[in-house]
Amino acid sequence: MELSRRLQSLPPYHFAAYARKIAEKRASGVDVISLSMGDPDLPTPPEALDALTTAAHDPANQRYPEYAGMPELRQAYADWFGRRFGVSLDPAREVLPLIGSKEGLAHLPAVVMNEGDVALLPNPNYPVAATAVAMIGGVAHDLPLSEENGWLPDLNAIPEEALSRARTLWLNYPNNPTGATAPRAFFEEAVRFAREHGLLLIHDMAYAEVCFDGVRPASVLEIDGAKDVAVELHSLSKAYNMAGFRIGALVGNATVVEGLTRLKSNIDTGIFKPIQIAAIRALALPPEWVAERNAIYQRRRDRVVAACQRIGLRAATPAAGLYVWPRIPEGRTSNEFAYDLLDHAGIAVTPGTNFGSNGEGYVRISLTVADDRLDEAMARLERNIAARA
């Protein structure tokens, strides 16, 4: 039996391959501290767990759920966007619950792109988008990001040849992997650009609720007229420590929301109702809950940035997200640096090139381990750097 040519053309998913390597190390007795994935270690809010448990015992919630999600969850998302961003959403037409925001990233190209269409994709970027574009026969055009440009793409530098065939513009702020945030003026520019060139602007804002130092990341839908040209992906994975629940939402342009609803109705049967009920409860939590959780991540962020700077790795202090993005020593590749740490220090970090060629020279360090383990990892990192100085 032979797999399809399109599937064979895809590289292995970097995080899955790296996870196997970590598992092999642990199986051989190595105490690996994994700072490689943004998998929150902090507990899910007990209010959400209580709602899940109660709902799971009700036989009515054990049947097939609605394809487009419970009306109550769509309303809860609309209410949350209204409180958080001042954005008005029609819960029936402009909100679609998803099996995690990753599902939306994976399926949107099939909704709005045809074979040969171009997707304007940042580099570095979360790799799921490029894979999804490739699977429908689309063409990815890189938008280079760098420290010098604040990890924002220069939309005016896109060649006319690519722009003439472009169908989608993908953005992600707070940014994974760099931790960069985008100012409102950039979102205004992006919405104007999408309108001028007939693009769908797809904004992945999975990390908007993990923020520090008084920064409050914006929604692109705050921009006047954005719903005409944009959709946004939200996730409860990072917002409320619910990664394993697999629940998020697509919001924004009603035509695109309807299109993804139609696609989902043909390929899945919705989200387990008790998980949706838990999500409704989480979305109703007061902002103080988020602030208290973020204080823990901010403390960890400060420890990692201080450690990197102490040992000579240049690292900006991110205002949002679950990661620190240090520049590694000259003369070594990101892969070499990361695998050396895994082999000789028992620390797993993600090579920057897992996110694209412009990630070369960087690694991504996750903040999702307990403080004592994070301190131990930084001590190991310092010893490793010193031994190779």
Mean pLDDT of the chain, nearest integer: 95
Strands (E) located in the chain: 33-34, 95-98, 118-123, 139-144, 166-172, 200-204, 230-235, 248-252, 323-324, 347-348, 350-351, 363-366
Q: What is the mean pLDDT of residues 100-127?
A: 97
DSSP 129-161: HHHHHHHTT-EEEEEE--TTTTT---GGGS-HH
Encoded tokens for 275? 């998980």
Q: What is the mean pLDDT of residues 173-181?
A: 97
Cα 295 from chain centroid (whole Å): 20
Encoded tokens for 218? 């914006």
Encoded tokens for 219? 């929604």
Position 221 confidence tier, pLDDT thresholds 50, 70, 90: very high
Is residue 222 within 8 Å of residue 190, measured between CB atoms? no
Q: What whole-number distance in Å separates Cα of residue 262 and Cα of residue 259?
A: 5
Partners of residue 121 on adjacent β-strands? 142
Q: What is the mean pLDDT of residues 47-56?
A: 98
Res 184: pLDDT: 97
Side by side, the strands of the sheet bearing 363-366 are: 323-324, 363-366, 350-351
Other C-beta atoms within 10 Å of 386: how many? 10
Res 384: pLDDT: 92
Q: Phi, psi (5° rounding) for residue 2?
A: -115, 135
DSSP 108-125: HHHHH--TT-EEEEEES-
Question: Residue 274 burial by CB count (10 A; 0-12/13-18/19+): exposed, middle or buried?
Answer: buried
Q: Is the pLDDT of residue 185 over 80?
A: yes
Lowest-pLDDT choice from 64-68, 80-84, 165-169, 216-220: 64-68
Res 387: pLDDT: 85
Q: 190-207 pLDDT, tens per residue?
A: 999 999 999 999 999 999
Position 5 confidence tier, pLDDT thresholds 50, 70, 90: confident
In three-state form (DSSP H/G/I as H, E/B as E, the rest C), the secondary structure along 269-310 is CCCCHHHHHHHHHHHCCCHHHHHHHHHHHHHHHHHHHHHHHH
Q: 378-388 pLDDT, tens per residue?
A: 999 999 998 87
Q: What is the mean pLDDT of residues 70-95?
A: 98
Q: Of 367, 378, 299, which Cα lies nearest the Cα of 42? A: 367
Position 50 confidence tier, pLDDT thresholds 50, 70, 90: very high
Res 29: pLDDT: 93
Is residue 212 within 8 Å of residue 301, measured between CB atoms? yes
Q: What whole-number distance in Å separates Cα of residue 327 and Cα of residue 45?
A: 35
Q: 241-288 pLDDT, tens per residue?
A: 999 999 999 999 999 999 999 999 999 989 999 999 999 999 999 999
Q: 340-382 pLDDT, tens per residue?
A: 999 999 999 999 999 999 999 999 999 999 999 999 999 999 9
In the chain the domains, ranked by start, together with CATH numbers, are 5-44+288-387 (3.90.1150.10), 46-286 (3.40.640.10)
Res 203: pLDDT: 98
Hey, is 248 helix, strand or coil? strand
Contacts of 248 (CB under 8 A, 6+ apart): 97, 98, 99, 100, 101, 102, 103, 104, 206, 233, 234, 235, 236, 237
Question: Residue 270 burial by CB count (10 A; 0-12/13-18/19+): exposed, middle or buried?
Answer: middle
Question: Residue 81 burial by CB count (10 A; 0-12/13-18/19+): exposed, middle or buried?
Answer: buried
Encoded tokens for 77? 């998302």
Is residue 217 within 8 Å of residue 187, measured between CB atoms? no
